[in-house]
A and B are shown apart, each in its own frame.
Chain A
Amino acid sequence: GQQVMQIPQYQHVQEGEDFTTYCNSSTTLSNIQWYKQRPGGHPVFLIQLVKSGEVKKQKRLTFQFGEAKKNSSLHITATQTTDVGTYFCALGGSARQLTFGSGTQLTVLP
């Protein structure tokens, strides 16, 4: 089955600093999704990337899909306390199930 590595596991930043989490797959992906889970909450969909080399932006969030479609990143510019939570990538392949990364827990210090 698909294997996914997501790094780092934890990240503490000062408010205003940037943040990046990376997701790497052992296989070529058909698509990748990103989710955010606030403390005590449930995962919420952020975005889906499908095309090789794709870059999408949502306000301060920038999502990239690697050229080989085996890796992806989520970058947050100038973090705010509202960005606190765990960010997960989820790999879509030929199967009907999504494989989630272990997540990056982001703490933003005011």
Chain B
Amino acid sequence: NAGVTQTPKFRVLKTGQSMTLLCAQDMNHEYMYWYRQDPGMGLRLIHYSVGEGTTAKGEVPDGYNVSRLKKQNFLLGLESAAPSQTSVYFCASRGTANTGELFFGEGSRLTVL
């Protein structure tokens, strides 16, 4: 019962470096999401995907790119990391559009120095 798996769980970057966060789900879900969580601000949607090969912008997409080449994987990329991107990132998936619970990964804590 892996569910949603995120890698890495922790990462420290220097300003300007790039990195990719990987999200993998084994529930055959169509919809996948990347959120960031900052103190007092809840969960803010970065990008999401409604199926293989499709992506869409969420509330805070600037500075991030995503790809969904395979149905089970959703990648979040930071091309040039900035200190403002220090956050905890959560990936989530669900099977249907307007109903159905979100299944979250355990989170990836990113620090940008």
Q: Which residues of A contact B (CB under 8 A)?
A: 1, 6, 9, 30-31, 33, 35, 41-45, 48, 50, 88, 90, 92-94, 96-103
Contact = CB atoms under 8 A, between A and B. Distances in A.
Given A99-B45, A100-B42, A31 B107 contact: no
Nearest to A9: B40
B102 A96 contact: no
Contact of A44 (B42, B98, B104, B107): B104
Contacts of A45: 101-103
13 contacts: A31-B98, A42-B104, A43-B104, A44-B104, A50-B99, A92-B98, A96-B48, A96-B50, A97-B33, A97-B58, A102-B41, A102-B42, A103-B42
Contacts, number: 59
Interface of B: 31, 33, 35, 40-45, 48, 50, 56, 58-59, 90, 92, 97-107
A44 to B, nearest CB: 7
